Chain A
Amino acid sequence: MSSGVSKTQILSMYKLLMRESQKFANYNFRSYALRRVRDAFKENKSLSEPKAIKKEFEYAKENLNIIRRQAAIGDMYRTEKLVIENLNQ
């Protein structure tokens, strides 16, 4: 691949983003992050131009770092769970 970003790299980035998003303590942020990552990868599935792929990949990397930091902050200031989270217990 001429873009310099291989398919395996993209896949592992996706997995990493999903795994880290799962760590948000806040229900809303967690659901949003998972949904947003999934939708963004779906949206850019047909991207073929190497430059565009590289750009999106860099954006994903940037967001991975944000998610890691913010999930850690959220973890420090946990709250009681939402009504909806307690429903299925």
Chain B
Amino acid sequence: MFRLANKIIPAINKALLQRSSSKGNGIVVLLQAQRPFSDKGNEQFSIKTEDYGRPLYFDAQATTPMDPRVLDAMMPYFVSYYGNPHSRTHAYGWESEAAVEKAREQVASLIGADPKEIIFTSGATESNNISVKGVARFYAPRKKHVVTTQIEHKCVLDSCRALEGEGFKITYLPVGPNGIIDLKELESALTPETSLVSIMMVNNEIGVKQPVAEIGALCRSKKVFFHTDAAQAMGKMPIDVNKMNIDLMSISGHKVYGPKGVGALYIRRRPRVRVEPIQSGGGQERGMRSGTVPTPLVVGLGAACELSGREMAYDHARMEKLSQRFLDKISSKLTHVIRNGDPIHTYPGCINLSFAYVEGESLLMALKDIALSSGSACTSASLEPSYVLRAIGTDEDLAHSSIRFGFGRFTTVEEVDYTAEKTIKHVERLREMSPLWEMVQEGVDIKTIQWSQH
């Protein structure tokens, strides 16, 4: 145990030091010296656990396990029906084509679209790229302005960055402290030059739902195309592209209990939205996405969509029950816990919490029995606080102490209880070690302290 503790404690101290040194203070170091970590091993500070086995999965926003029913639908296309769906001269091609077309219908019917409006891609990142770059470039001769938000997924933001390099003007809308955009601000950002508005339906880090229907109506009235990234929303809430006036929508396979490496793009036919394809080739998928359509993956995506349509009410009720249970447990034992993002306009399966006076990375390390993340998987390698949390105005220290709990279809009540208990235990342990927490308990307002420079 001590070997483990010796390894981890210096790391925690280092992290604490790094954080505090940015504010330039000497007090934290001094207080720590008063309470050196002794090898006598106070049980309270022990991170040794008796538990062994694989960690519990609580990162459903990063990816979801594939539903066995989805795998079952895919297997025949891995094992027996291997034809190229674009082969028109033999039965192998026809059977694959039929499967692809069935999947197209399954995806379309979940969002109230026509099957012809569904394009299969390699994932939501590709769909977002085709939408943002494709629309902007196609309409570039007349319109050179794109509106998006500061809390979009990296692939939308990076596509916009690329467009900026090509001379487009991009407006990054700010969001309120609850993570939701202001419709008035959006309206004033729209100009006759604007070709596209791209706003995600459900945020991947804080789970907030944007008022997509209102945004859609606004864009339609201004004759601007509206793209939404629905990777996190698909199959989890009812979507109707016509009622919501959505012109383009990105869909991901592996966030709806489907396979990885496949996604879809909804692209409206009436009024017609045109995009400049990114990939050149055989002209598959109506010329917008060349490349052989991967039959087994697409069949999996279709099956996953049909299944999530069927299970939507059941899954949603379950998510609400689990998240309520989790939040009740946490708030009954811990104070100074802040939920990031709007508590009402949110997807209940994504809970982003900031535990004040606890360093997020230390907590993640301590909670090694649970697969968690402090934000999106794309940025989980860096210790930088998430740009989404910064955009909603979270304080630097709170942004550092945030953890995202993602529930899924296969999460059990026992897992939720275990996670809540472990979280409470380790937050209490880490706070007990924290000099800042001690000062807060003594009634010192941390924000009023003038940290001395040295």
Contacts and interface: CB of A to CB of B under 8 A. Distances in A.
Interface of A: 24, 27-29, 31-32, 36, 39, 63, 66-67, 69-70, 73-74, 79-87
A86 B71 contact: no
A63 B311 CA distance: 14
Given A66-B69, A69-B72, A84 B410 contact: no
Contacts, number: 59
Interface residues on B, range: 20 to 34
Contacts of A67: 68
Given A29-B410, A31-B410, A73 B51 contact: no
A70 B57 contact: no
B410 A83 contact: no
Nearest to B417: A84
Contact of A29 (B68, B314, B415, B418): B68
Contacts of B75: 69
A88 to B, nearest CB: 10
Contact of B369 (A32, A36, A66, A83): A83
Contact of A83 (B65, B69, B72, B418): B418
A66 B55 contact: no
Given A28-B410, A32-B410, A85 B53 contact: yes
B415 A84 contact: yes
Given A29-B410, A73-B71, A84-B414, 13 more contacts: A28-B57, A28-B65, A28-B412, A31-B410, A39-B314, A66-B68, A70-B69, A73-B68, A79-B54, A80-B53, A80-B54, A82-B53, A87-B51
Contact of A82 (B56, B65, B72, B314): B56
A81 B411 CA distance: 15
Given A28-B65, A39-B314, A83 B71 contact: no
14 contacts: A28-B411, A28-B412, A31-B410, A36-B314, A66-B69, A80-B53, A80-B54, A82-B53, A82-B55, A82-B56, A83-B53, A83-B54, A83-B55, A83-B369
B54 A82 contact: yes
